[in-house]
Structure 1
Amino acid sequence: MKKMSISVLFILFGICVLAIAQTQKFGEALHGLYAYKDFQKATYCRQCHVEIYYQWQKSMMAQAFVHPWDEIEYFDL
């Protein structure tokens, strides 16, 4: 019984290690797949999605990269 439980633990450990290894491979494969310039600006989407664009424009997400704090170095705060 003790040998069986140790075997089960080793099998579970192996499965966990394989799952983590596959996740890391998948993440590395997607890193850098698209450059920033590959995406359209929000004004391009506005042509078809007018109402959604104006809702988004008022949101915090629209201001994510234009917040003045983003231009200040962390240690200068």
Structure 2
Amino acid sequence: MTSEETSSYLVHHLALAGRSDTLFSDDAITLIHDTSRGHPRAVSNLAVQALLSAYADNKSVVDEASAKAAVAEVTAE
């Protein structure tokens, strides 16, 4: 997927879950897209981890720091 498609993908899946508000910052979406190389399953895995990281830090929006924590978690060996 392209960067725009990744953003639309996240918005679409959040809408399916009943959320229409912004949950991911643009920086977070860019990092998720770049790390996943646009592969849908990787985008989903990183998005879930980023949401968990933001929740753990009591944030209402997934920011770049939460996305970085997700990347570290998912790519750790």
What is the TM-score when the length of structure 2 is the normalising length? 0.26
Larger Rg: 1
Q: TM-score, normalised by structure 1?
A: 0.26
Higher RCO, 1 vs 2 (CA within 8 Å, ≥6 residues apart): 2
